[in-house]
């Protein structure tokens, strides 16, 4: 049985960021548990045609690891995966990462004041040649950890819609995050369900090779121009030889992102200006009034995730794509039946239907004091103090969990702030058990609710993946700027934890 000071679950951006923060803080007694066969998280899993980031590449990386070699304004998925793999080596944490090792359950052992983490080789994705069977956790292996960091990600478990007859579909059928590269879609009639962030990248790519694409849209999205260019060899050389140039670019991108918060959250003037840009973009690229109307949202700008694309509208307006502005209600063999009763024959079906976001699957696996699971604690929606520590779960930290994501800038910035908070808290722990004061968690939750109450995410007239439908609370996004989040975590002075009990008198 192995014992470590810190066990980190997940080797995506959050897990790598946390391990790097611990290493730089002089803490080496940690392990990173990853169920898949390689590091990379979201950028390992998503390999669909056209996959790329919609955050500028020089802002979508760790501050300590600027990358002068990004190919352009927006990095492609494989580039980001390779970058994360590079950071693992640059930080010297490769030997701390255990691949093909799934957390089957974790429980707080009150008697010994440790987390007891049960490991296994549960189904992992994707299976790649990397690693070997010897990487896998032996059946029944247990790790003891003084502290547990959940860096499991929020885009890990695909959301599969309950569609009557879906199981009867005879052709290739897969989720966008589980792309079946063995399926030859060239010259095929391909159905795509969903018009979110993945679909608007997939559809233009498929339109270039498929015989035809049938796109089923339940709700249209606000889409703004993506812009951006490939960097020239000269630009990349300048970035490599002039660190100040990269620092200046990152600072400019950061400022642009912070300024964008106003339009996403609901500042009337900023939102109106941004909506006008989106409407003009649609009008320029889609000439057919009926199609344009079907692609125009009926909810406030910013209520759902604002998307970036210069290729989606032209693809949908072309003869290569048929837009069905209805939900998919049934599948009858190779026939897709939409809510309006229309029927569409396809040879393959891609589900670009998002992920389990507000109800994180890992929450079922983690039991805190008195055996209560994280899922039970979050039955009315995710909560935490500082978006990171949870009452009833001693020495537990959650990255990229409750109210720790952004709708206007890079999530990596938030992860770095959380990792720095965790490292600071561990430095002051001095061996004691850290128990979050329930009143502190409730006060923070109320603070979030007050800040979110007037935002478009709550008032914008849409159903979005940021709000938990059980409580109507904003549980995924931080309702403020990155600066505000940094300041809020800086004000956490340790009073969020209950005092250690006095020693027994003898």
Read off the pLDDT band of 131 (50, 70, 90).
very low
Residue whose tokens read 């109210």: 403
**Average pLDDT estimate for 264-284:** 95
CA angle 21, 24, 26 (to 5 degrees): 115
Q: Does residue 152 register a pLDDT over 80?
A: yes
**Average pLDDT estimate for 327-348:** 98
Q: Report whether 210 contacts 189 (CB < 8 A).
A: yes
**Average pLDDT estimate for 264-279:** 95
Residue-wise pLDDT for 457-470, tens only, equals 999 999 999 999 99
State residue 138's pLDDT score: 66
State residue 500's pLDDT score: 81
Q: Does residue 246 register a pLDDT over 70?
A: yes
Distance (Å, whole) CA 460 – CA 481: 19
**Average pLDDT estimate for 211-234:** 97
Q: Report whether 203 contacts 213 (CB < 8 A).
A: yes
Tokens of 202: 């997939």
3-state secondary structure 367-386: ECHHHCEHHHHCCCCCCCEC
**Average pLDDT estimate for 347-373:** 93
Q: Does residue 221 register a pLDDT over 70?
A: yes
Of the candidates 460, 84, 483, the residue with the CA atom closest to the CA atom of residue 251: 483
Residue-wise pLDDT for 50-60, tens only, equals 999 999 999 99
State residue 130's pLDDT score: 40
Question: Angle at which helices 13-24 and 411-429 pack, to 10 degrees?
Answer: 40
**Average pLDDT estimate for 324-336:** 98
340 exposure class (CB count in 10 Å sphere: 0-12, 13-18, 19+): exposed
Q: Does residue 412 register a pLDDT over 60?
A: yes
CA angle 99, 20, 129 (to 5 degrees): 25
State residue 124's pLDDT score: 45
Burial 301-336 (b: 16+ CB within 10 A, else e): bbbbbbbbbebbbbbbbeebbebbbbbbbebeebeb
Q: Does residue 34 register a pLDDT over 70?
A: yes
81 membership: H or E segment, kind and range: helix 77-90
Distance (Å, whole) CA 105 – CA 112: 17
More confident residue, 55 or 154: 55
Q: Does residue 132 register a pLDDT over 50?
A: no
Q: Report whether 99 contacts 33 (CB < 8 A).
A: no
* Average pLDDT over all residues of the chain: 94
> Judging by DSSP bridges, how do beta strands 114-120 and 328-332 pair with one another?
unpaired
**Average pLDDT estimate for 387-397:** 98
Residues near 344 by Cβ (< 8 Å), separated by ≥ 6? Answer: 191, 214, 322, 324, 335, 336, 338
Q: Does residue 503 register a pLDDT over 70?
A: no
Q: Does residue 272 register a pLDDT over 60?
A: yes
**CA of 489: how far to CAs of 313, 427, 432, 445, in Å?**
41, 15, 21, 14
**Average pLDDT estimate for 168-188:** 97
More confident residue, 264 or 314: 314
Read off the pLDDT band of 121 (50, 70, 90).
confident
Q: Does residue 495 register a pLDDT over 90?
A: yes
**Average pLDDT estimate for 432-460:** 97
Tokens of 355: 């992920």
Q: Does residue 331 register a pLDDT over 70?
A: yes
State residue 205's pLDDT score: 98
Q: Does residue 128 register a pLDDT over 80?
A: no
Q: Which domains does the chain have, with CATH numbers?
A: 2-157+356-490 (3.50.50.60), 166-222+267-351 (3.50.50.60)
pTM of the model: 0.94
Distance (Å, whole) CA 390 – CA 383: 7
State residue 136's pLDDT score: 59
Of the candidates 307, 328, 352, 359, the residue with the CA atom closest to the CA atom of residue 466: 359
Q: Does residue 154 register a pLDDT over 90?
A: no
State residue 274's pLDDT score: 97
pLDDT cut 90: percent of the chain above it? 91
Q: Does residue 203 register a pLDDT over 80?
A: yes
Q: Which residue blocks in 309-382 are alpha helix, DSSP H? A: 312-317, 374-377
More confident residue, 124 or 236: 236
Residues near 266 by Cβ (< 8 Å), separated by ≥ 6? Answer: 300, 302, 454, 455, 456, 459, 460
Read off the pLDDT band of 501 (50, 70, 90).
confident
Q: Does residue 89 register a pLDDT over 60?
A: yes
Distance (Å, whole) CA 428 – CA 494: 9
Of the candidates 222, 255, 195, the residue with the CA atom closest to the CA atom of residue 56: 255
């Amino acid at each position: 049985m192995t014992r470590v000071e810190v066990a980190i679950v997940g080797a995506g951006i959050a897990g790598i960021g946390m391990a790097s923060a611990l290493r730089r803080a002089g803490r080496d007694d940690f392990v990173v548990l990853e169920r898949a066969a390689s590091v990379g998280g979201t950028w390992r899993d998503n390999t669909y045609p056209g996959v790329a980031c919609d955050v500028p590449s020089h802002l979508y990386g760790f501050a300590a690891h600027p990358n002068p070699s990004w190919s352009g304004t927006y990095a492609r998925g494989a580039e980001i995966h390779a970058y994360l793999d590079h950071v693992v080596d640059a930080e010297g944490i490769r030997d701390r990462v255990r691949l093909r090792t799934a957390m089957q359950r974790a429980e707080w052992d009150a008697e010994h004041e440790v987390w007891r983490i049960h490991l296994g080789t549960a189904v992992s994705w994707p299976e790649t040649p990397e690693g070997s069977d010897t990487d896998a956790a032996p059946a029944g292996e247990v790790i003891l950890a003084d502290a547990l960091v959940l860096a499991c990600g929020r885009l890990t478990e695909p959301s599969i819609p309950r569609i009557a007859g879906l199981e009867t579909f005879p052709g290739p059928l897969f989720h966008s995050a589980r792309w079946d590269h063995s399926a030859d879609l060239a010259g095929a009639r391909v159905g795509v369900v969903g018009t979110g962030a993945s679909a608007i990248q997939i559809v233009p790519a498929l339109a270039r090779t498929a015989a035809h694409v049938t796109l089923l849209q339940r709700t249209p999205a606000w889409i703004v121009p993506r812009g951006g260019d490939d960097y020239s060899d000269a630009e990349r050389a300048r970035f490599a030889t002039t660190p100040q140039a990269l620092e200046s670019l990152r600072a400019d991108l950061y400022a642009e992102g912070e300024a964008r918060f106003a339009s996403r959250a609901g500042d009337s003037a900023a939102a109106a200006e941004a909506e006008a840009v989106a409407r003009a973009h649609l009008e320029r690229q889609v000439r057919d009034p009926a199609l344009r109307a079907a692609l125009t949202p009926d909810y406030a700008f910013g209520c759902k995730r604002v998307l970036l694309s210069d290729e989606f509208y032209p693809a949908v307006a072309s003869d290569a794509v048929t837009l069905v502005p209805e939900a998919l209600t049934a599948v009858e063999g190779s026939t897709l039946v939409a809510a309006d009763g229309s029927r569409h024959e396809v040879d393959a079906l891609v589900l670009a239907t998002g992920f389990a976001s507000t109800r994180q699957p890992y929450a079922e696996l983690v039991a805190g004091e008195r055996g209560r699971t994280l899922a039970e604690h979050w039955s009315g929606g995710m909560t935490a103090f500082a978006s990171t520590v949870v009452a009833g779960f001693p020495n537990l930290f959650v990255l990229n969990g409750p109210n720790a994501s952004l709708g206007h800038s890079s999530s990596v910035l938030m992860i770095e702030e959380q990792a720095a908070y965790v490292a600071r808290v561990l430095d002051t722990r001095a061996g004691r058990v850290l128990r979050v004061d329930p009143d502190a968690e409730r006060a923070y939750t109320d603070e979030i609710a007050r800040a979110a109450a007037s935002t478009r995410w709550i008032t914008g007239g849409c159903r979005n993946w940021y709000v938990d439908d059980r409580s109507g609370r904003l549980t995924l996004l931080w309702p403020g700027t990155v600066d505000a989040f940094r300041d809020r975590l800086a004000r956490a002075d340790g009073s969020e934890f209950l005092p250690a009990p006095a020693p027994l008198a003898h």
